Chain A
Amino acid sequence: DAGVTQSPTHLIKTRGQQVTLRCSPKSGHDTVSWYQQALGQGPQFIFQYYEEEERQRGNFPDRFSGHQFPNYSSELNVNALLLGDSALYLCASSLFRGGNYNSPLHFGNGTRLTVT
């Protein structure tokens, strides 16, 4: 049973550049959420995708955008990178179909983004 997979594992970018992170959800899951975790902090919710639409969004600027594909995989795009965007980016999947609000999130191993 494949878990949540993310790529790449590490990434180094320069300020002002753009980055795309990728995520494949756990088998059987239909919802993907993205979180940003700065060092020493808990994960912060960026947004959530279900049925290829952004369903909820956290307090992140429009530089952060995403997409979900028909196979439920997802991408996170960040434009005009800032030093403060350096963090661990976590993808989490869950099963929401039918209104399963209590479905626990299962996390991937994350992408460590460093902006220099």
Chain B
Amino acid sequence: QKEVEQNSGPLSVPEGAIASLNCTYSDRGSQSFFWYRQYSGKSPELIMSIYSNGDKEDGRFTAQLNKASQYVSLLIRDSQPSDSATYLCAVLPGLTGGGNKLTFGTGTQLKVEL
């Protein structure tokens, strides 16, 4: 079982729709969760962080965390063509894991179509 799993996609949504990106993780002790956006040929850019169960909203982005189910998701409302990118889910281990070594999923490619 991979430590962080994501559907590679591509996930295609029409402009203006809600895009839903999902991620599961295997380390039950994980404490911190991040979503990064990566445009082709570019480096990952942090867009959301979430540390406790529930929802966290920032503009058009909402991160959702369910530690019991070991599941984290990212919703993008009113999707725009500029949102087309690969979205990487990243997980930090629990304190016993030591330091802030991020484990990434393989990413989900999102395509927002006109």
Contact = CB atoms under 8 A, between A and B. Distances in A.
B95 A101 contact: yes
Contact of A101 (B31, B44, B104, B106): B31
A31 B100 contact: yes
A90 interface: yes
Interface stretch (B14-22, B45-53, B59-67, B76-84): B45-53
A58 to B, nearest CB: 7
Interface in B11-32: 31-32
Interface residues of A, number: 30
Contacts, number: 72
Contact of B44 (A44, A58, A90, A100): A90
Given A40-B106, A41-B106, A101-B92, A107 B45 contact: yes
Contacts of B99: 48, 50, 55-56, 96, 101
Interface of A: 31, 33, 35, 40-45, 48, 50, 55-56, 58, 88, 90, 92, 94, 96, 100-110
Given A45-B102, A55-B99, A101-B32, 19 more contacts: A33-B102, A35-B104, A42-B88, A42-B104, A42-B107, A48-B101, A56-B99, A58-B101, A90-B43, A92-B102, A94-B100, A101-B100, A102-B32, A102-B49, A102-B51, A102-B92, A107-B43, A108-B43, A109-B43
